[in-house]
Amino acid sequence: MPDAKTMNRAGQSRRDEALIAGWREGLSIVNLRGDPSNAGFRERVQGVIGIDLPEVGRTIVSARGRVVWVGPDDWFLVGAQEPAVDTVRRLHDALAGIHHAATDVSGGYTVLHLSGVPVLDVLAHGCPLDLHPRVFGVDACAGSHFFKASVWLWKASAASEFELLVRRSFRGYVEALLARCSAECGLVTRKFA
């Protein structure tokens, strides 16, 4: 992302009202597929990741990271505790004999953290979802787009913190549009773990 910009159009510094954005580096991202109605599948996955799979349209956070519901038989496991290759190996070992797929997609995706007072307004520029707290609460998730980049997003906390799973090839595009959409409020960039 470009260097931190915290000036509004009038040239006044407004750091406390700026959008805060940053890419979460070093994350392990695994795509898991399987039949959630199979009790053995769910139990064995829980044995590996430490929590049950989330309900439709939800995410769950544990000490190992976040599990994001993507579809009826599809989840992303996003975390920093262990390399994706180790998570994939442990899932394959635990799920031996049960139909499943576990794939390291860390090289193809990245996660963008967004927070601050204007986060809803900035997202509304390019995302058609209603992200108001009465509709899209903490740990809600949905697939959508930010302008022409397909994203999967979730609300990470009650403090208007959102994260977007973005294809790595769209990173520059998302950065450019984010800078454009935050020109009025300002943009503060930082690193997130």
Question: Which tokens hold the place of 109?
Answer: 């995706």
Long-range contacts of 131-138 (CB under 8 A, 24+ apart): 131/155, 131/162, 133/158, 133/160
Are 69 and 75 a contacting pair, CB within 8 Å? yes
Q: What's this model's pTM, rounded to 2 decimal places?
A: 0.89
Q: Write down the domain spans for the chain.
A: 15-24+108-189, 28-104
Architecture of domain 28-104: 2-Layer Sandwich (3.30)
Tokens of 39: 């009790």
Q: Tell me the CATH number for domain 15-24+108-189.
A: 3.30.1360.120
Rounded CA-CA distance 33/76 in Å is 9
Domains 15-24+108-189 and 28-104 fall in the same CATH topology: no
Per-residue pLDDT tens digits of the chain, which is 193 residues long: 544 444 444 444 466 789 999 999 999 999 999 999 999 999 999 999 999 999 999 999 988 899 999 999 999 999 987 899 999 999 999 999 999 999 999 999 999 999 999 999 999 999 999 999 999 999 999 999 999 999 999 999 988 899 999 999 999 999 999 999 999 999 999 988 7
Beta-ladder partners of 192 = 24
44 φ, ψ (degrees, to nearest 5): -70, -40
